[in-house]
Structure 1
């Protein structure tokens, strides 16, 4: 396990949500201070606020993709396509590994079968972000 993945898990132990846990572990590598990243990621925890939506850990990895890849060209946005490809690769790999991307499904809210715990989702999303986004 990399030091960054361990940091993401430690963030969760400090009561960061899953999105904050992943995104804040790598914020310095994408040029964002931790307080700003913490704020940006806050609403994406718990399946975007209520377990219905995309896992917050995945959202954190995708948030990193935008910060890592965006050209920030406000006049002529030109990096969306590549950022979408990176995001899609993150989501696809997470889905293949865990069988779901929605918090509700991962936590077995309807089935009673937990596919992956929050720490497991954080570990997976962080490892996938490291690989796909080449965060070291």
Structure 2
């Protein structure tokens, strides 16, 4: 788990968005193409296209859980049901930690405005919020995968 968490944080501080950081960190472990993962998750950072909706750490985690289950279950319906159960558990646990899944609520600023962008930088929210959401997302994923 520590290795994946370190990959996630390194990627996040070196140009990947939060969803990309989570998803690509699992490429080796789950044996999928990291370049494809980078592409497919490119629009999910900043709360889905910088709309500050669902946090990219969350959406990246959902994608990783889907890949995990699609490799574990041979039938699509079984994989989908297992993924839905894991996503529901992840959601409950993440919301219990942070009170929301939404980027804007998590950061308590609107970084799409000049004022919010300044607040994001001044309060170092990338480190003080985003990095924690990423690290906790890895822990939640690992806990869910470990349960199955």
Does TM, scored on the shorter chain, surpass 0.5?
yes
Q: Quick one: distance in 2 between partners of 1:9 and 1:124?
A: 11
The aligned length equals: 131
Runs of 4+ in 1 over 3 A off after TM superposition: none
- Matching of residues 78-117 of structure 1 within 5 Å: 78-109=78-109, 117=129
Q: Quick one: distance in 1 between partners of 2:141 and 2:78?
A: 22
Instruction: Tell me what 1:25 maps to.
Output: 25
TM-score by length of 2: 0.79
2:144 to 119, 132, 135: 132
Instruction: Tell me what 1:34 maps to.
Output: 34
User: Which structure is larger by alpha-carbon Rg, 1 or 2?
Assistant: 2
- Matching of residues 43-62 of structure 1 within 5 Å: 43-62=43-62
Shift of 1:72: 6.3
Alignment gaps of 5+ in structure 1 = none
Verify the 8 A CA contact 1:45 1:56 in the aligned structure 2. yes
Q: Quick one: distance in 2 between partners of 1:49 and 1:100?
A: 18
Compute the RMSD of aligned alpha carbons.
2.3
Hey, which of these two has a bigger chunk of helix by percent? 2
